[in-house]
Structure 1
Amino acid sequence: MAEEEYPSISVLFDRYLKLYENVEKSDLPSQSDKLQEQIKEGIEGLVKTTVLVSELGVFSSNETLEEIPTSAIKFLLLPVLLGSLSLKRTDVERLHVLQLANVYFRDFVKRCKQYEFIDTELPSTEDDEDSSDEAEAEKKSLPKASTKQGMPSPEELQAMARQREEKIRRFKKKKDLGNQLMDLKKALDKPSHDEDILRNYYITLVRKFAYESVDELESVAMERKMLSKMKDLKMKGVLSSPEQVSELRPLKPILITKDALQKNVFGLGYPSLPTMTVEEFYDKRVKEGWFPEPRRDKNCLQDRAASDPQAEKEAQECEEEEREKEEEQDDPQKLARDREWDEWRDTHRRGWGNTYNRS
């Protein structure tokens, strides 16, 4: 189960996944201070969880989906949750928010394709930093612009038809996956569910988010293109510029990584910008006061890994001795609690509250 292999990280992830769901269901306006505080809290918590997942090296590029433990599958959702929450921020320049979300969504879709969750191609953009052969092939396969204004060429019409068919296929996939999630959720509510049901639930959840992320990438690309055009028109003086707003510190995406070769995800995801490893980032946050020092926090991963089993056994023995002393000394508070518990059990027979599946 999830709590057995990664107990603290699993609890942390579940907490901020619940916060994300509350933000999605919220009826508050997007610029509400309360909603924006929840969004920032969710982003900070998911960033912290991403750092811990990277430190543990949960994922490897040379493993398959069958090799990923059930307790780790849900951590694949970290980038898409960060991307979705980032899109809802209103205190940062919109063009920068879109650029940040693009990095998160693309990273998530790439991982899903790597583990064969989906078979959909990753949308390519003109300024995409990924210069792989697959991206180049996609760009070459796009139809050339028609020489006649307002009259699309046959190649463009075929490309439009393919895009429409792909969108319809993704829509049907998302609808089918949503129905499967509802059935799996009902099965998880039963106390007799096994690990296979939990694993299928996480896999279905990741697949549904993956198809939604492809749609989000297309929407982000269209909005970025529109805002870039508006920015060029403002620079040329065609459009009036709004009042100058105070410049805020730009955000940086934090993606799941495990070594220094992958540290280019820091700095907006471009290798040419300043970079740092997970360890460098964590040390920097400790100095700035964002994260606690590992040695001072008894609940951190390093101390739990280095904890002495003998010391834990001695601590348990001390607790048992204290309980025995309380019983021997007839502690009045403990006696009062025991009496209340006995009286409650006299008037509440075992099983009376369990009316599940009873007519």
Structure 2
Amino acid sequence: MAEGEVGQGAERLPDLFESIWKAWEFLETTQEDTNSYTVQKQAIKGLADGEKAIRMINDLTLFSINESIGEVSTTELRYMLVPALMGYFIQKRVTKDRLQLVRTGKAYYEDFLRQCKTYKVAKVSVHIEDDEETSDNRVLPSGPPGMMKMISERESKIQAFKEQKELDARLADLKKYVDQEHVDEEVKRDYYITLLKKWVNIACEDLSGINFEIQMLEVREDSMSEAGARKTEYEKKKPPPMRPFIITKDMIQKQVFGLGYPSIPTLTIEEFYEQKLKDGTFQPPMAGHSMQDWAADPEKDKEDREKEEEEKENKTEADDPEELQKARNWDEWKDEHRRGWGNRQNMG
């Protein structure tokens, strides 16, 4: 069967790969913002072509776990890059569901690395889920676990940086020959294998950031879920909204307003105050004073209160028997009735 002929109409695998590669080149070199329409359009196109290419690769059964890299034809080597390019395009996408996005990108990168590891294309320096073998067999120096991890990560990054510089230089040299009309088969094969090695390093580096981002996004998602659960619980427990009512100055106003709003309760200031006294929201008024007095003339009521306070203070200083008895009674009442016992305003 000819390459790419798998019932996909006019589309062929080489053409799809060429389109995918052009989308990657644009995204890699553009100076436009990631959120821009052009960048998002290229990322979406790369993903759409990549999905078609993967279906064609699977239908053609181009790769098998029983093969070695030497058994893969030179023209088919480049198609091993498709999952890695899909991971790259997904990282460029901007959507609301970021967690699902990075998880999908992680799956594509891991699929690419798993395949490269199977074909022994390059050494994979990151852990791939569901892999039984450890990816790094180097002997680490003894020391605390935290220190060993830091040393390992530092050595891996230094080694990956050196390898990437060497691979980039080699790819630049080989590209000159690959672009020629007549190129030797071995040169083309060397170019594609070097390109695969480069993308192994890219995938490993991106996976490190993806795993960290997933952890942060999962913590954020758990926090939001917990906050939503607390809000739901609060909505269940919070008291019903207070029914609106009209407060009037006196009984005459109550009768007038009550006729206009028969469905809304109407209370005088005195009735409203007495209701609040019963539920413990307000404290009892001073003897001889009422809300009605305050509403009628606030200034006069204030003066009367101050005068009574002054007289009370004078009687206390003079050891007036009646005033002392009132003070004792008040102290006894406070001992038997704790502050806030009658206040149910803020209770659930």
Alignment TM class, shorter chain as reference: 0.5 to 0.7
Paired position in structure 2 for 1:186 = 176
**Retained in 2: the 8 A contact 1:118–1:211?**
no
Correspondence 1:87 to 2:77:
no
Q: Does 1:115 align with 2:100?
A: no
CA distance in 1, matches of 2:150, 2:52: 42
Residue 155 of structure 2 is matched in structure 1 by: 165
Equivalent residue, structure 1, for 2:210: 220
Structure 2 partner of 1:71 = 75
* C-alpha RMSD over aligned residues: 2.6
Higher relative contact order (CA 8 A, sep 6+): 1
> What residue ranges of structure 2 are gaps of 5+ in the alignment?
6-11, 232-348
Distance in 2, matches of 1:13 and 1:234, equals 41
Give 3-state SS (helix, strand or coil) of 1:134's partner.
coil
The answer for the alignment partner of 1:233 in structure 2 is 223
For the residues of structure 2 that align with 1:52 and 1:5, how far apart are their CA atoms?
Answer: 10
Aligned partner of 2:198: which letter?
A: K
More deviation, 224-233/7-16: 7-16
Match of 1:234, as an amino acid? M
Per the alignment, residue 132 of structure 2 pairs with 133
Q: Is the 8 A contact 2:87 2:109 kept in 1?
A: yes
User: Is the CA contact (8 Å cut-off) linking 1:110 and 1:122 kept in structure 2?
Assistant: no
| Structure 1 segments unaligned to the other structure (5+ residues) | 143-152, 242-359
Q: Deviations over 1:161-189 (max 9, x none)?
A: 01110111011111110110000011223
Q: Which of 195, 200, 212 does residue 210 from structure 1 map onto? A: 200
Equivalent position to 1:197, from 151, 167, 187: 187
Deviation, 1:224, is 0.7
Larger radius of gyration: 2
CA distance in structure 2 between the aligned counterparts of 1:189 and 1:73, rounded to whole angstroms: 17
Counterpart Cα distance in 1 of 2:96 and 2:56: 26
> C-alpha displacement at 1:39, in angstroms?
1.2
Q: How does 1:272-351 map to 2 (within 5 A)?
A: none
Which of 133, 146, 155 does residue 156 from structure 1 map onto?
A: 146
Q: Over residues 253-301 of structure 1, what are the superposed CA-to-partner deviations in whole Å (9 max), with x where a residue is unaligned?
A: xxxxxxxxxxxxxxxxxxxxxxxxxxxxxxxxxxxxxxxxxxxxxxxxx
Report the AA paired with residue 113 of structure 2: V
Aligned length, in residue pairs: 219
Conservation of the 8 A alpha-carbon contact between 1:87 and 1:98 = yes
Q: By how many angstroms is 1:43 displaced?
A: 0.6
Question: Does the 8 Å CA contact 2:4/2:14 hold for their aligned counterparts?
Answer: yes
Any conservation in 1 of the 2:125–2:156 contact (CA below 8 Å)? no
| Pairing 1:101–2:105 present | yes
C-alpha separation in 1, matches of 2:3 and 2:60:
11
What SS class does the counterpart of residue 133 from structure 2 fall into?
Answer: helix
Give how far 1:6 is off: 4.6
Name the counterpart of 1:278. Answer: none
Question: Which amino acid counterpart does residue 19 of structure 2 have in structure 1?
Answer: R
Q: Output the CA distance in 2 between the equivalents of 1:90 and 1:227.
A: 15
In the superposition, the TM-score normalised over structure 2's length comes to 0.58
Structure 1 residues 167 and 159: alpha-carbon distance in aligned structure 2, compared to 1, 3 A threshold: same
Alignment-derived partner of residue 61 in structure 1: 65
SS at match of 2:52: helix
2:58 is matched by which residue type in structure 1?
Answer: S
SS at match of 1:122: coil
Asked whether 1:38 is paired with 2:37, we answer: no
CA distance in 2, matches of 1:92, 1:40: 15
Q: Distance in 2 between matches of 1:103 and 1:29?
A: 26
8 Å CA contact retained: 1:106, 1:122 = no
Q: Tell me the residue number matched to 1:51.
A: 55
> Matches of 2:187 and 2:23 in 1, distance apart?
24
Letter in 2 for 1:180: R
The DSSP-based 3-state class of the residue aligned with 1:133 is coil
Question: 1:213: Cα distance to partner?
Answer: 0.3
Tell me, yes or no, if the aligned pair for 2:124 and 2:200 is still in contact at 8 Å: no
